[in-house]
Chain A
Amino acid sequence: MDARDTVKLAAVQLGEKKVRTALTIIMVIIGVASIVALTSQTAGESQSIQKSLGSLGPTAILVSPSGKTLLTSADVAEISSLPNVSSVTPIVTGSGTLTVDGVNQSVTIVGVSTNGLSEIMGNSTFLYQGSLYSDNTTPASAIGYDVAYSSSTEPDVQQVGAGETGTIQTASKSKIAVSIEGVLDEHGTSLISVDNTVFFSLPFAEVLLHKDSYSEILVKATNASSVTALTSLLEVVYGDNARITNTAQLASTFSSITSSTTTLYLIIAGISLLVAAIGIMNVMLMSVSERIHDIGIFKSIGFESKDVLVLFMLQAIFIGFIGGFLGLGTGVAASYAISYAGGLHSGPTGAVTPGSFTGGAGSGSFADRGSSGFAGAGGGGAVFVSSTSGSGGGFESTSSSSPTSSSSSSSTITPVFTLSVILESIAVAVAISIIAGIYPAWKASKMEPIDALRTL
């Protein structure tokens, strides 16, 4: 039988049962869309994490206090004296509320030297606007990009700019007037919160946050090949008193988390595809028994078994193909919608705060991101890391930061659609429809014309 005729006949038969065909196609769409949406999300997530880790640099090592250990300038001096050390940046962190022109927003507070800030940014030029603060006790700050563009309704309108002044209030209730000297470039998801952070000089932040020790120390090795050696050395020096983490370890932790979420997602998507396959088979079996009479006619006027087989297989393949394409489109749309809503990823900030990193605010920051059911590998991953370490510098207040926050969700995780995912999802849809269609089609083709015609 001519291929075009077969296609036409198959289409005619499907078209006769429009609602049923549509419902079956929807089953396939759901299966394929969930594969596409979930894998593109995890791919985007892991790409974004890798990029962020990259911006911190492959040579970065973070020393966080564990238990009752306090990190002080003595530690900075000691670490500086170790071999293969390129820079040592002490950091204090906390959280508070920044008020400018009567508008409150919850922010992360980081105290770091201007040189240290460039180590965090992984770049020597990172100013979006204005200038940096001085490394003294002046109440001057530089704010992250999201602090400047804090409105969720008008994400393109800058709310706070360089040269303005405001007040900062911390958990210790002090309310201090501060000047905003500059705005930093957008940084994206990072190990150390940047975009939703107000940066101060180290001495000022120590006063503001009532700290006499550092929250963590960012160490950079001279080159990537010496990172492992330096990490081991720091582990020997600190033993149980600090947690030593380097970028490579984090990268592998994150990637193992994303790969296990990917597996989980694929299982979920696979189940919906299985349901779709059963649906197709059910519909095809129904179709065959409804069309026994037609099959009898086809066979009595000279159609061969293989013509009938192909006719029914084609119907199943149509369902798979149409469902695959529409599912791909739906999946892409859903994935962007998820990204836009910030659902699967971070909540208010795209960054992992130092608090959650060191563990003090771990569960708190998880709650922050409570808007996301999946919590994302970004936020959730960091919590996972920090939960193994002891209580950090006491940033419990981080947990209260976000509900009042008006900062926009600028998590810049873009779903990643690889050609292989696109082709595979359609191939999978067609494959399941073929598998589901084989038995009914075979059953139809084996029917004797006389038996088929007798069934009236």
Chain B
Amino acid sequence: MIMPHYSVQVRDIEKIYHSGDITVTALESVSFSLREGEFAAIVGPSGSGKSTLMNILGTIDKPTNGEVYIDGVPISKMNGNQLAEFRNKKLGFIFQAYNLIAGLDAEKNAELPLMASPVSSDERKERADRLLGSLGLAARLKLKPTQLSGGEQQRVAIARALVNNPALILADEPTGNLDTKSGDEVIKLLRQVSKDRKVTIVMVTHNLDITKYCDRIIHIRDGRIEKQEVLK
């Protein structure tokens, strides 16, 4: 029933917030599927439900109704610790504000997800170094986030998102804090990564310019999918 080549399947999800007597429907009958290695952008105005959708895909929020399958696994039945383990094995996160740990150097930040999994420290270091190297940061391994430029910090965050070989990477406005040039570099890197590593990427953005690198654009408005464009 679940098509195995879809790495993300969203089935009719709904998210309703109750605040006192007021009920807000943030998402309503949202359904879509993404193939392995697909690079999708979610676009829409503020308050359209993009972030809520991202949080649900990131398993840090739960839909009120409906089901999300990631890599074929339904996520609604899992408890907190199972979700933590799931995130650790299957997901990678890239945030607008990079969200690196200030006290750790680039290498350690990239290793961080592997610290929560049973990977030897030697292998961890090797994987982080290789990734950072491939992202052009070989000379910056021992620098702290504050010593890195925004573009470099975001590349460390990409390395962190990739280090556990995830099935899905969630990127929340990854270029939002970057200038055009660095932002473009970051998007091209993500494009490259999804192609080379067959990792599915879902990116939320305001910037329609950068969506030209994507395979699919999902337009959201008022909690509903307005339209989907498949490029190429």
Contacts and interface: CB of A to CB of B under 8 A. Distances in A.
A450 B26 CA distance: 16
B208 interface: no
A297 B101 contact: yes
A301 B60 contact: no
A307 B114 CA distance: 13
B164 to A, nearest CB: 8
Contacts of A123: none
B99 A304 contact: no
Contacts of A306: 81
Contacts of B117: 302
Interface stretch (A10-18, A349-357, A401-409): A10-18
A9 B101 CA distance: 10
Contact of A303 (B60, B84, B102, B121): B84
Contacts of A2: 115, 121
A101 interface: no
Nearest to A293: B99
A300 B93 contact: yes
B80, B84, B117, B160: most-surrounded residue (chain A CB, <10 A): B84
Interface residues of A, number: 28
A306 B85 CA distance: 12
Interface string B94-120: 010101011110000000110111000
Nearest to A297: B99
B135 to A, nearest CB: 17
Interface in B39-97: 55, 58, 60-61, 80-81, 84-89, 91-93, 95, 97
A294 interface: yes
A453 B160 CA distance: 17
A456 interface: yes
Given A2-B121, A449-B60, A450-B55, A303 B116 contact: yes
A305 B116 contact: no
Interface in A236-281: none
B60 A448 contact: yes
B158 to A, nearest CB: 13
Contacts, number: 71
A79 to B, nearest CB: 80
A176 interface: no
A2 B111 CA distance: 13
A307 to B, nearest CB: 6
A5 B122 CA distance: 12
B115 A1 contact: yes
Contacts of A293: 99
A226 to B, nearest CB: 74
B81 A305 contact: yes
Given A302-B87, A302-B88, A15 B103 contact: yes
A224 B46 CA distance: 95
Contact of B101 (A15, A294, A299, A450): A294
Given A1-B116, A4-B121, A5-B115, A301 B103 contact: no
Interface of B: 55, 58, 60-61, 80-81, 84-89, 91-93, 95, 97, 99, 101-104, 112-113, 115-117, 121, 160, 164
11 contacts: A4-B121, A5-B121, A9-B104, A12-B103, A301-B87, A301-B93, A301-B160, A307-B116, A450-B60, A453-B95, A453-B99
Shortest Cβ-Cβ A-B pairs, 5 listed? A302-B88, A12-B103, A449-B60, A450-B60, A301-B113
